[in-house]
Amino acid sequence: MAGRRTQLALRRKAVGLSQEQLAERLGVDRSTVVRWESGETLPQPWLRPKIARALQVSVAHLGDLLDDEHALDEQATERFERVTAHPASVDLVTVACLRRQIAQLDARYDQVPSASLLPEAGQCLGQVSFLAGHARGGQVRQALHLAEAEAATLMGQLVWDASQRRDCATAITCLGRAIIAARQAGDRVAEGRALLRKSFVALYGHKNPHDGLALASQAAQTTGAVSHMLTGLAVLHTAEAHAMLTDTRACEQEIAQAETHLGQVSDDDPAIDLYSPSQLGRLTGSCYLFLGQARKAAPVLETTATAAAGRSKSQAIVYGNLALAFIRQTKIDEAAAALGQAIDIVEVNRGGGGLTLIFGAARELRPWQDFPAVRDTYDRLLTLMTAV
């Protein structure tokens, strides 16, 4: 019998599904899901694309989750010990094990504090760098470049998130390294991911919509022929940059273009793991807020918050923006309730974006600080600040 599929269960929880809810979506009994996670059985091949969609991962990544986790971990440990002693023996299988570790860390990013993942991510990046200096053969070296791009992208987003979006310099250094490595590997998907992450730092860290627009546009051009998922996300962030620049027409044109790309995403998209039902609504709501249209932002964000169950870092951003939309319409009780939802999530995962929005909304609530609901929210914020 295989070992328990711990990562499969963690991924299910990460998207906010119970075993019963996943079973209902798939049209199977809960006992079937239990047997999959316990390692007793495997899902039929025809059902795997549907499972992958429910868990918001690629079919290939789902295959990794369904593997015998304990056996793979033991094999990887033994292989790394041998390769560390004889680094010139690094091969494609070893690199695949490293990439699997990086993917597992990336899958946990949205649900746990980034600081808790930094040591393992740093170790992976260090292993890749060490082995790259000893690799023989073009294929192995190319695979290591791709692993470096993935590890450096993850490090960039972890450092930036753990610093509450303050350490932009380190994040940019990591992401720049990822872009170079992706180009050396000839992988447009990895390059597009790193460029997109770098645009986030420009938009939300440096507050520079011009640089953010250029980087997001570059990401969209890079991935246009290989991934509707990444291209759609990049175009959504060009829309947000236009909103920051108060260009309503360009913003709405980009939102429509992004919706077209996201509507064409298929199960075999190389960036399907980035899919979330909240993306279009979350970014559209944010755009309307930047354009000063809180009345248009609020219903979009409310619908998004309701449709996207879970306690992810992006979900905290939805509730934070919803709180801002209510504040700007002087709907104070509703704003306090939305802010409370955001705090609930951030207390668990410490997402830097959510924290930034929460504190921004709290500042805008100061004129109503004597309202009972606002006082309660401020009490929770004090506790949150003490824990951060």
Q: Please report the pLDDT score of residue 135 as a whole number.
A: 85
Per-residue DSSP letters for 76-100? HHHHHHHHHHSGGG--HHHHHHHHH
Q: Report angle CA 305, 311, 313 to the nearest 5 degrees.
A: 90
Q: Please report the pLDDT score of residue 49 as a whole number.
A: 86
Rounded distance between C-alpha atoms, residue 370 and residue 324, angstroms: 18
Q: Do the Cβ atoms of 313 and 110 come closer than 8 Å? A: yes
Q: Do the Cβ atoms of 365 and 335 come closer than 8 Å? A: yes
Rounded distance between C-alpha atoms, residue 19 and residue 131, angstroms: 40
Virtual torsion, Cα 1, 9, 65, 268, nearest 10 deg: 140
Q: Please report the pLDDT score of residue 76 as a whole number.
A: 65
Domain-by-domain residue ranges, the chain?
187-277, 292-388
Rounded distance between C-alpha atoms, residue 339 and residue 324, angstroms: 9
Tokens standing for 366?
Answer: 């100061």
Q: Please report the pLDDT score of residue 75 as a whole number.
A: 59
Rounded distance between C-alpha atoms, residue 246 and residue 92, angstroms: 49
DSSP letter assigned to residue 2: P
Output the pTM of the full model.
0.80
Sequence length of the chain is 388
Tokens standing for 361?
Answer: 């909304």
Q: Please report the pLDDT score of residue 2 as a whole number.
A: 41
Q: Please report the pLDDT score of residue 270 as a whole number.
A: 86
Rounded distance between C-alpha atoms, residue 145 and residue 154, angstroms: 14
Q: Where are the alpha helices (DSSP H) in 163-227?
A: 168-185, 188-200, 209-223
* Residue among 38, 48, 88 nearest 68 (CA): 38
Q: Which pLDDT tens digits describe the chain residue by residue (388 residues)? A: 344 677 888 888 888 898 889 999 998 888 888 878 877 677 877 788 889 999 998 887 888 788 745 545 555 667 777 887 888 888 887 888 888 889 888 878 887 899 999 999 999 999 999 998 888 878 899 999 999 999 999 999 999 999 999 999 999 999 999 999 999 999 999 999 999 999 999 999 999 999 999 999 999 999 999 999 999 999 999 999 999 999 999 999 999 999 999 999 987 788 887 888 789 999 999 999 999 999 999 999 999 988 766 667 888 999 999 999 999 999 999 999 999 999 998 888 888 888 999 999 999 999 999 999 999 999 998 888 776 6
Which residues, 6+ apart, have CB-to-CB distance to 221 below 8 Å?
none
Please, is 14 exposed, middle or buried when counting C-beta atoms within 10 Å of its C-beta (0-12, 13-18, 19+)?
A: buried
Virtual torsion, Cα 317, 320, 321, 324, nearest 10 deg: -170
Provide the residue type at 316 as one letter: A
Please, is 44 exposed, middle or buried when counting C-beta atoms within 10 Å of its C-beta (0-12, 13-18, 19+)?
A: exposed
Q: Do the Cβ atoms of 327 and 342 come closer than 8 Å? A: no
